[in-house]
Amino acid sequence: MTKLNPSQNRTTQKGEKAKSGVAQGLRDLFVNELKDIYWAEKELTKAIPKMIKNATSEELVEALTDHLEETKTHVTRLEEVFASIEEKVVAKKCEAMEGLTKEAGEIMEATEKGVVRDAGIILAGQKVEHYEIATYGTLASFARTLGEDEAASLLEETLKEEKAADEKLSEISYSINVDAADEEEFQRSSEATRK
């Protein structure tokens, strides 16, 4: 995260200084976090296709494919948010999303293709969705506080889609986890008969 400059945009008028200082500080934080999530969404448009390639369950492939399209919309929607608050569109590296996508790659490498890797992809995917839900929820609330209602509505729209994606993954995970556990049981019993 880049350092915020609290002195930026502050009024020099004595009476308004303290009050405006607080609002400007929140606005700086808001804009800064927008740049962060903008980078994160763009990163996801590259990471989700890798998850799709690695997934086996048809339902999971379909859910990820749908969410990839939504993610592309999230990128353009953020551009609309920047425009609505009259700020330049800027992407700033999000260390958290970089870590989450790296972890997703590691999980896929460490598992065999099939139900177990599918379970791992869901795990990684849900971590991403929860990060996005936390971010959009907070940013929408910041936007409302700052009187940026158009930005708030756009952010709330994305928030709804992130929550729906998370719920969809939860739904799919139930049957996949049962299959993954069955597979483990099968492997254990065939190992036992070999002995």
Q: 85 vs 164, which CB is nearer to Fe ion?
A: 164
Q: Should residue 36 be labelled a site residue for Fe ion when binding is judged by CB under 5 A?
A: no
In the bound complex, what is the minimum distance in angstroms from residue 17's beta carbon to Fe ion?
38
Here's the x/- map for Fe ion, 66-105, by CB under 5 A: it reads as -----x--x-------------------------------
* Among positions 43, 118, 148, 162, the unique one binding Fe ion when judged by CB under 5 A: 162
Measured on CA atoms in the order 153, 33, 35, 85, is the torsion positive or negative?
A: positive
Contact (CB, 8 A) for 193 and 119: no
Q: Should residue 168 be labelled a site residue for Fe ion when binding is judged by CB under 5 A?
A: no
What is the b/e burial string over 139-168, where b = at least 16 CB atoms within 10 angstroms of the residue's CB? bbebbeebebeebbebbbebbebbbebbeb
All residues at 6 or more sequence positions from 148 whose CB lies less than 8 Å from its CB, including other chains: 30, 84, 85
> Interface with Fe ion by CB under 5 A: which range of 6-14, 25-33, 112-120, 131-139?
131-139
Q: 74 vs 117, which CB is nearer to Fe ion?
A: 74
